């Protein structure tokens, strides 16, 4: 019963490559509009809507690790191992990491908005109203925070020992619905990965006649001066 046999945990690690692309898209979105008279206040409001509010929700109800936002594993079709791992999501360390990701979103948004004018010639959102650009930026921040939490949760669960997982009670379906944020269509039913166990070469069996011959040969060697 090892977490490494769950393919969705490995699939969540795609966030390592997706997060920089979303930051680039955030730059292009903000580059399409000119800042208003109070850009600092605009950034604070955008961050509060796109990062602070979702963080409060995700700390209370963590993102379901078996959800890819648009698709998820059906609650009724989840294996016992998946439900055990879902219970292991509830840890203060992951909640603090989610809050830290939301806090990092503010300086990231601030820096990107200040540098957005550099990308204005290549932005596909040119002549976009500032309000629309800020709402799109808030949506991107919320998406980045979701993937940030999913990435950390996957790393945490993949590092759990099989003994720890076996000693954890599985989360019931009612608890999943109440304590996890399960988003997406219930269409994912991936089979567990078949991990190869280290092969152990069995000792070669020695026939009784061969043992007798070897013993006689050893006695002759001892008799020879």
Q: What is the mean pLDDT of residues 94-106?
A: 96
CA within 13 Å, CB half, 92: 0
Q: Comparing C-alpha atoms, which of 96, 88, 92, 93 is closest to residue 64? A: 88
Burial class (CB in 10 A: 0-12, 13-18, 19+), 103: middle
Of 6-15, 39-48, 207-216, which gets the smallest average pLDDT?
Answer: 207-216
Average pLDDT for the chain: 88
| Predicted confidence (pLDDT) per residue in 44-89, tens digit | 999 999 999 999 999 999 999 999 999 999 999 999 999 999 999 9
Whole-structure pTM over 0.75, yes or no? yes
CA distance 216 to 200: 31
Residue extents of the structural domains in the chain: 3-186
For position 180, what pLDDT does the model report? 95
For position 224, what pLDDT does the model report? 45
pLDDT of 117 higher than 70: yes
CA distance 114 to 39: 9
Q: Which residue has the higher pLDDT, 219 or 173?
A: 173
pLDDT of 154 higher than 60: yes
For position 48, what pLDDT does the model report? 97
pLDDT of 195 higher than 90: no
The model's confidence at residue 112, banded by pLDDT at 50, 70 and 90, is very high
């Amino acid at each position: 019963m090892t977490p490494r046999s769950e393919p969705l945990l490995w699939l969540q690690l795609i966030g390592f490559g997706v997060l920089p692309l979303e930051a680039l898209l955030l730059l292009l979105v903000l580059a399409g509009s000119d800042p208003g008279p109070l850009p600092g206040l605009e950034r604070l409001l955008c961050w509060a809507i796109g990062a602070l509010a979702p963080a409060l929700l995700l700390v209370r109800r963590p993102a379901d690790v078996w959800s890819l936002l648009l698709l998820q594993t059906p609650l009724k079709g989840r294996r016992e191992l998946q439900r055990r791992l879902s219970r292991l999501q509830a840890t203060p360390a992951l909640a603090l990491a989610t809050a830290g990701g939301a806090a990092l979103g503010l300086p990231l948004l601030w820096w990107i908005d200040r540098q957005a004018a550099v990308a204005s010639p290549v932005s596909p959102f040119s002549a976009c109203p500032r309000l629309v650009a800020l709402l799109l930026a808030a949506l991107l921040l919320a998406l980045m925070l979701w993937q940030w939490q999913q990435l950390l949760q996957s790393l945490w669960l993949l590092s759990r020992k099989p003994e720890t997982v076996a000693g954890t009670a599985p989360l019931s379906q009612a608890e999943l619905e109440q304590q996890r944020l399960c988003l997406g269509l219930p269409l994912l039913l991936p089979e567990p990965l078949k991990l190869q166990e280290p092969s152990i070469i069995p000792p070669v069996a020695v026939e009784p006649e061969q043992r007798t011959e070897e013993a006689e040969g050893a006695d002759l060697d001892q008799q020879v001066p």
